[in-house]
Chains A and B, each alone.
Chain A
Amino acid sequence: MLCENCKKNNATTHIKKTVNGVTNEYFLCPECAAKLGFNNFNFFKLDNFWNDFLGEPVIKSLKRCESCNSSFEDIVNSGKMGCADCYNIFKDEILPTVKKIHGKTIHTGMTPSYTIEEEKPESKIEILEKKLQKAIKNEEFEKAAEIRDELKELRNKENE
């Protein structure tokens, strides 16, 4: 789909705006979105999951982050998490969005204790396998399932 504004670039940003009960939708390229002042809506990508939340007062949660006092609504409105702990507290809410943005939900890059200058990095599969073992040990089965899916996908790719 082409951007509604410049009609040249691909529309990758979907903006839904409700004013006085009237909902308008825009499909824009990132450049036009920024130009038109929608740059805070970084993660309202096409078919965005959070958009559905905006129109659903039923789900409106009273839960707040104990560290920074953000509600999930605050996060959606500002497009930003309030603090590191928000990722923990609103993990279930944010996970589908993370998946939409990155296609993945598990980090496979450097960690504070291991950096790139040191030895040859482990393969992505090795990293994920370790994480899978750890998740199972900690009885984090939901997370383990996610890791298992990613591993499967990765192995399929390698066998292609």
Chain B
Amino acid sequence: MSKWYLKEGKNSDLVFSSRIRLARNLKGFPFPNKMTDEQKYSVIQKVSDAIFKSELKDEYKFIDIDKISEIEAYSLVERHLVSPEFVSDTKGRALILKNDESLSIMINEEDHLRIQALYSGLNLKKSLEEALKIEKVISSNNELSFDEQFGYLTACPTNLGTGLRASVMIHLPALEKLGVLDRIFNNISKMGVAIRGIFGEGSKPKSSMYQISNQVTLGISEQKAIEIIDSITNQLIEKEKEAIYAFERSNLEDDVFRALGTLKFARKMSTEEMFKLISDVRLGVSVGIIDIPIPVINEIVLKTGKAGICLADNVTLDADIRDSKRANYIRDRLSLYN
């Protein structure tokens, strides 16, 4: 089964992914912060039974997060399949992962269940459908904590109600360069939507990638929540596409080809440099300067993180060796494209 990021979705040159996360808890157990280890194992058992005794069983695998290496655990974080918090304390936790990595279920993170569906490009509706499909399988054997007034009950009141967090990761290099993002983000944040930079450090990430997600989960329906994120994303896509005209084509071409040249020939590459160069190459694909499949670019980003690059050896490598391995991997992946 081909991985989710190898599929091309709607607007996937700009939109890296559409993600839905549902927080759910099983009735009859305290929340994870108050659970005994025995109760945690019991929840893991109930959830796995529901999935691996259903007809979906062949599509999923069970990962005992407590038994895998630290490298393997952090590579899951880099591939956006689990939260950093989830692998920081692995006892009494488990992961159920769909073979194509488009769906993951963290068991006993902050809530009993954190169901997450990922889709390439802009398609929150599809992600929500997938998340709900597996939620139904689990809840057919397990009653979920639900309250007439507060909706789905969660350990933290910030997730009450739908327990739904919809987020879109979007590439906004032109708007960023024009220095207008702060103003745009300020307006958006008034609508109960949060924005932050991802991939790389700081509020202005080298990747020029931003995550947009809803903050409010109570008193808003699932459809409405994703509609808002969807509409903001579409506006950003439009603005980004306009903004690119502010730049001289020949200068853009120069930036794009320099980035591609470095990626194709460098012998050592840090993650921060990779994020910057990949961003330029992605821009080049967006505006039609070069023709490299977006899935190839996505795969590089997801697989060459600090942990991902050590995965083959399954030991922590020195930064210098990592940088060599990263450069080798990228060179190899891009050798087919000019």
Contacts and interface: CB of A to CB of B under 8 A. Distances in A.
B233 interface: no
A66 B164 CA distance: 29
A112 B194 CA distance: 28
B305 interface: no
Given A97-B157, A116-B132, A108 B220 contact: yes
A136 interface: no
Nearest to B195: A9
B136 interface: yes
Nearest to A45: B158
Given A43-B156, A102-B161, A84 B25 contact: yes
A120 to B, nearest CB: 10
Contact of A143 (B27, B149, B192): B149
Interface in A69-124: 70, 78-84, 87-88, 94, 97-98, 101-112, 115-117, 121, 124
Interface in B66-106: none
B158 A78 contact: no
B174 to A, nearest CB: 20
Most chain A CB within a 10 A radius of its CB, from B147, B160, B203, B219: B219
A31 interface: yes
A9 to B, nearest CB: 6
Nearest to B135: A115
B216 A81 contact: no
Interface string A3-30: 0001011100000000000000000011
B117 to A, nearest CB: 13
B45 interface: no
A14 to B, nearest CB: 15
B216 A103 contact: yes
Contacts of A31: 196, 203
B203 A6 contact: yes
Q: How many A residues are at the interface, by size bracket?
A: 35 or more
Interface residues of B, number: 49
B230 to A, nearest CB: 15
Contacts of A108: 161, 219-221
B251 interface: no
A102 B160 contact: yes
A115 B133 CA distance: 10
Contacts of A78: 33
A133 interface: no
A88 B31 CA distance: 14
A116 B31 CA distance: 26
Contacts of B158: 42-43, 101
A103 B216 CA distance: 8
A116 B27 CA distance: 22
A151 to B, nearest CB: 12
Contact of B162 (A79, A84, A110): A110
B31 A80 contact: yes
A97 B216 CA distance: 13
A27 B129 CA distance: 38
A104 B157 CA distance: 12
B30 A68 contact: yes
Nearest to B154: A81
A38 to B, nearest CB: 14
B299 interface: no
Contacts of B219: 102-108, 150
A42 B139 CA distance: 28
A102 B218 contact: yes
B220 to A, nearest CB: 7
A87 B27 CA distance: 13
Contact of A105 (B154, B186, B218, B221): B218
Interface of B: 25, 27, 29-31, 33-34, 110, 128-129, 132, 136, 139, 143-158, 160-162, 164, 182, 186, 189, 192, 194, 196, 203, 216-224
Interface of A: 6, 8-10, 29-31, 42-43, 67-68, 70, 78-84, 87-88, 94, 97-98, 101-112, 115-117, 121, 124, 131, 134, 143, 150
21 contacts: A29-B203, A42-B156, A68-B30, A70-B34, A80-B155, A81-B153, A84-B145, A87-B147, A87-B150, A94-B157, A98-B150, A101-B158, A101-B160, A103-B192, A106-B149, A106-B218, A107-B149, A107-B150, A107-B152, A109-B221, A116-B222
